[in-house]
Structure formats: C-alpha cells, structure tokens
Amino acid sequence: MMKASREAPAPAPSEEDIIVAQNLSAGYGSKAIWKNATFSVGKGEFVAVIGPNGAGKTTLFRLLLGLQHPLGGNLSLFGAEPKRGSPRIGYVPQHHAVDDESHIESLELVRLGLSGNKWGFNPFLQEDSKTAFDTLSGVGGLELAHRPLAELSGGELQRIFLAEALVSKPDLLLLDEPLSNLDMRRERDLLRLVDEVVRSRDVSAILIAHNINPLLPYLDKVIYIANGKVASGKPEEVFTSETLSALYDIDVEVLHDSRGNLAIVGIEGHHGDE
Amino acid sequence: MAFSWNIMADLQQMWAYPFMQHAFEAGTMVAIIAGVMGYFVVLRRSTFVAHAFSEIGFAGAAGAVYLAQAFSIPWLTATYGMLLGSSLGGTAIAMLSRRSSHRDVYVGIVLAFALGIGLLFLSLYTGYATEAISLLFGEILGIAWADVLRTLLFSIVILGGVAILYRPLLFSSLDEEVAEAKGLPTLAIGVAFLLLVAVAVSVAVQVTGVLLIFSLMVTPAATAQHLASKPSRMIAISVVLALVVTWVGLFVSFYEPYPASFFITAIAFLVYVLVRVFHHRIRAPSEHRKDWQDRALVSTKDYSS
C-alpha cells in the first residue's frame, strides 16, 4: 500500500505559502500520532482539517501555536519555526470556560483578545474598546457587545470567540471545532462569516471539523488526518476512493449525492477481516 | 454606652476608643483587598482553595503562637505564621493540581493535614482557649496599632500585585487556552494569584477569623457579579459591599454584646440573598434572552446580504 502523503499531489512551495510542512511527524513523548505529513497553506486560503476523533487534529494546531514541538520533519510558519505567543495567529480553542455563571459582557472578552497579554493596570483605553467594538461589529456581533456571555447562544458565542481571535488583526485563524454544538442553520451562518472574513481580509483560516459536507462550498484545501497519516490537497483530490483507501489501509468508497455531498463508506468484506 | 439615633454622636463616642479606631482602620483595608481578591477568587472558581488557605494558615498561625511562647520570640505573631503557612500551602496546591479535575481532592487532603497540625500546636500552647477562638473567628476589636501598619503594608503589596497582573489574570481566568497560546505563562500567573490570595487571607482573618473568611472574600464578590457586567465595575461594587458590611458590622457590634464577625457574616449573607431575589424579579432573564436572539438573527441577515 502506498503512503498517503505520496498519494496526494506534492504541494509546490510558493512565496504565498504561510505554512509549509515537510515530512512532519507529531505526537507526545516518543509516540507519534501521525507521520510524514507534507502540505502547505497559502495566504488567504480556507482550509479544513478533517478526521476521526483522536486522529491528532488539535495536535496540528498545537504545533502551529508553538505549544508542542514536532517529533520529526520540518514545519515553517511565516517563514520561521512556530513560536508561542505569535501575534499573527488568532486562535479559537474548542473549550472555553464560559458557563451560566459568566456574567461578564462579551466586549470585555474581545478586548482581552487585544490587550489581555499586556502586563500592568489597564486604564481602560478608549482606543482598545473602539478596536474591540469595530471587530465585533465586523462579525455581525455589534448588538452582543454588552450582553453577558452567560446569556448567549452557541452561535452567538462563536461570533464572540471569532471577534476575540480577529481583534489583534492576525494573518492566520485557527478554529478548533467551531461547528460542534451548532444546528445546521447556525453552522451555515458561521461558515459564511468565516469565509467572508477570509476573503475580505486576506486572512488564512484553518478549521477543524468532523463533517466535510457543510464546508465544501467554501474550501480551498483539505488536510485529512486518519490512521497516523495525513493527506492534503483540494477537496476533490483528497476525497477520492484511492486517497482515502491509502489513508485508512482498507478499501473505502466515496459516494456523491445529487447536490455534491460526500459520503465515505468502508467496503464490507475488508471491514469484516479486522 | 447606649445607642442613640444621633448617628454622629454615636460615631464620635465609638471612635473615642483607640481599639475601635484600629478596628475601623484595619477593617477598611481588609474590606478593600478582600473585595478585590474576592472577585478573582469567584471568577476562577477558587472559593474552596481560598478556604483551604485560611485553614492551612491556621496551622501556621498556631505554630507561630506556640513557638513565640515556647522560645520567647515576641515579634513572631500569628499573622506571620499564617502568611508562611498559607503561602507554602498555596504553592503546593497550585503545583499539584494544575488543570486537574481532582483539585478539590488535593486541596481537601492538604487541608485536613494542616488542621490536624494546627490542633497539635494549639494543645501545646498553654493559653489555649482565647487564642484559638480569635484565630478561628477573628478578633477585630483586639487589633493593635502595629497590626494596622502591617495590614497597610500587606494591602499595598496585594493591590500592587493585582494592578500588575490585572489583564493577564483576567484573560487566563476567562479563556486560559487562548491566553496560553498568546504567550502568557498561565501556570505562573495562577501561582502568583494564589500567593496574593494567601497574603489577603492572612490579613483578612484578623477581621473574620479562619472559619468566616468567605463572608468578606466570597460573598460580596458573588453578589457583585449579579449587579454589573464589566469586571472593573464588579470589583468596585464588591469593594463597596465589603466596606459597608464591615463598617455596619463593627458599628452594630459596638452596641450589642455579640461578636463583630457574626454581624459581618450575617449582613453579607442578607445582602446576597436580597440581591438574588430582587434581581430575579426585575430582570426576568429568559424574556431578555429570547428578545436578544431574535435581534441577533436580524443582524446575521444584514451581514450576509
């Protein structure tokens, strides 16, 4: 069986690439979660990271954020090794400490995204508030500004987190499962919003998701992580029976419905052998 | 002394006594720092930790009192023992329990051990009863001028520390993962915060005692959370509540034969209950929320068109 990374077309490095990974391996301690990943992400690209639970999707984010180091291979971000605390990255983690006891207004969280890493007492600069306010209105959250976080719905919260990530004007957005807990309509609204941000600000966005289908209309690229391997390319290149079979080491068939939605099916006979 | 309805005359009468002056001076400073630290304690869901500090500090205080007596060390007061105990305990808890869902268990284990040690020291100490009671329940009417000065010094340290940590502490309390990704040392911030809590606790126990520390460190801040939505305002309200509760408690205790810490805890609790009941009535949050989601939908539409 051929290696998945060879199956996907080798990315041609260009000057516009902000992320370049070559034979990258990642994991904890000496145990690799995935190996030999070669891919790139260009400026202004909207990229999805797809794969089953525990495949190491968030690990890729931790590498980019400089919170974890590669086990092998090369990873370059903005032409250098990733370093913790890069102001050029806007990050929306999967888990937030927001609950129904969070009485703090949304604007405050957005403002912390701008100046929360600065020491010293904040004299509550008007300038900070204005930047936070403008960012919030840029994601259609103007009316949420003075609402307590505890009262917001899932979709509204994602808007706030997006503003928190965007407020420092990053070049790269990392969104970890922003669609979980959203119904289909809010899912579509949020994806449109992210797409709009990517196109209008020339920001690159990498979004972790379980399901490719709602993302298909917007994506430039897919990074598919499964079974310790990584494949990347345009969605139509990655979502082929050959690529995914190579990734999973079993025969996989990719089905298309009349609207272009995809379904991935493992072939019965091989499944039974395992 | 009798209470009259001439408040000014009452206050004059009360402040004629140096011990009441000291009580008000120390009480005022304690209320301010408890109000400020309390906000972060509540925000970080660290109430149990704050409580544990006071009891670990109790072991240190009892040890200090015993050693001072046994070896005649006059400067070794309960406050220094408390400070040392709660700082060590705080660092241990912070390191042991980082991001652990079992933090409560660690805290409980350290706390139980510390209380046992405190009891041992108290039984070794011959002036057992009064000293134990004042450590456990506060002795604000027994505050000397030297205690007032020490309280002032500690208060400056705490407020200075909070001023420096303010934004990173708020950020890492609200959104730890993003704060970490932005390069903030979230573990170090957590330890620094707990050390400040340790200092605040060792100062505040003079007023409330070990067992009643929540009345100033938690209740006013928890009340304030329901009355504002900006951290700066929540802190301001928390401080004002702690001040009012302390002042009224002291005032009443001057005329009534019951302990000041009882009145302080009782008034703080009453205010909290009133705010929760009253607040619910006027605000009807569910109504608000629905209206809000409708408006959010409109704004979504505007955006995408």
Residue-wise pLDDT for B108-119, tens only, equals 888 888 889 888
Segments in chain B forming alpha helices (H): 7-15, 18-43, 47-70, 78-96, 103-124, 128-137, 145-174, 176-181, 186-208, 214-217, 219-225, 231-255, 260-283, 285-304
| Average model confidence (pLDDT) across chain B | 83
Contacts of A104 in chain B (CB under 8 A): 174, 229-231, 234
pLDDT for residue B203: 85
Q: Is the pLDDT of residue B299 over 50?
A: no
pLDDT for residue B285: 46
pLDDT for residue B1: 61
* A269 burial via Cβ count (<10 Å: 0-12, 13-18, 19+): exposed
Q: By three-state DSSP, how is residue B273 classified?
A: helix
Name the β-bridge partners of A230: A225
Higher pLDDT pick, A105 / B104? A105
Nearest-CA residue of chain A relative to B229?
Answer: A104
Tokens (6 digits) for A191:
């994806």
CA angle at B111 for the pair B188 and B191, rounded to the nearest 5°: 5
Stretch B293-304: mean pLDDT: 37
φ and ψ of A105, to 5 deg? -75, 155
In 3-state terms chain B splits into helix, strand, coil percentages (rounded to 5) of: 85, 0, 15
How far is the C-alpha of A215 from the C-alpha of A196, rounded, in Å?
13
Q: Give the side-chain half-sphere CA count within 13 A for B218.
A: 17
Mark yes or no for CB contact A153/B295 under 8 Å: no
Q: Could you read off the pLDDT of B182-222 as tens digits, one per residue?
A: 999 988 898 899 889 989 988 888 777 777 777 888 999 99
How far is the C-alpha of B26 from the C-alpha of B203, rounded, in Å?
9
Among B180, B231, B296, the residue with its CB nearest the CB of A108 is B231
Nearest-CA residue of chain A relative to B43?
Answer: A102
Q: Is the pLDDT of residue B298 over 60?
A: no
Report the residue count for chain B. Answer: 305
Contacts of A95 in chain B (CB under 8 A): 177
pLDDT for residue B68: 86
Among B164, B226, B304, the residue with its CB nearest the CB of A103 is B226
How far is the C-alpha of A217 from the C-alpha of A262, rounded, in Å?
12
Which run of H or of E encompasses A125?
none
**Letter string b/e over residues A18-38, b meaning 16 or more CB atoms within 10 A of that residue's CB:** bbbbbebbbbeeeebbbbbbb
Closest CA to B270 of B219, B201, B212: B219
pLDDT for residue B159: 96
Distance from CA of A245 to the nearest CA of B (A): 35
Higher pLDDT pick, B204 / B301? B204
pLDDT for residue A123: 61
Q: By three-state DSSP, how is residue B166 classified?
A: helix
Residues of chain B contacting A, Cβ within 8 Å? 163-168, 170-171, 173-184, 225-226, 228-232, 234, 285, 288-289, 292-293, 295-296, 299-300, 302-304
State the CB neighbour count (10 A cutoff) for residue B128.
11
State the CB neighbour count (10 A cutoff) for residue B127.
11
State the CB neighbour count (10 A cutoff) for residue B12.
10
Distance from CA of A18 to the nearest CA of B (A): 18
Tokens (6 digits) for A213:
């289908």
pLDDT for residue B301: 33
Which run of H or of E encompasses A204?
strand A204-209
Q: Is the pLDDT of residue B86 over 60?
A: yes
Q: Could you read off the pLDDT of B127-174 as tens digits, one per residue?
A: 656 767 777 777 788 888 888 998 999 999 999 999 999 999 999 999
pLDDT for residue B235: 95
Mark yes or no for CB contact B178/A93 under 8 Å: yes
Q: How is residue A144 annotated by DSSP?
A: G
φ and ψ of B8, to 5 deg? -60, -45
What pLDDT tens digit does each residue of chain A (274 aa) get?
444 444 445 445 556 799 999 999 999 888 899 999 999 999 999 999 998 888 999 999 999 999 999 999 999 999 999 999 998 999 999 888 787 778 899 999 999 999 888 888 766 678 888 999 999 999 988 899 999 998 998 889 999 999 999 999 999 999 999 998 888 889 999 999 999 999 999 999 999 998 888 898 899 999 999 889 999 999 888 888 888 888 888 888 888 888 878 888 877 554 444 3
Distance from CA of B136 to the nearest CA of A (A): 31
pLDDT for residue B201: 87
How far is the C-alpha of B178 from the C-alpha of A174, rounded, in Å?
11
Closest CA to B204 of B168, B245, B254, B163: B245
pLDDT for residue A100: 76
What is the band of B281 on the pLDDT scale with cuts at 50, 70, 90?
low
| CB distance A119 to A170 below 8 Å | no
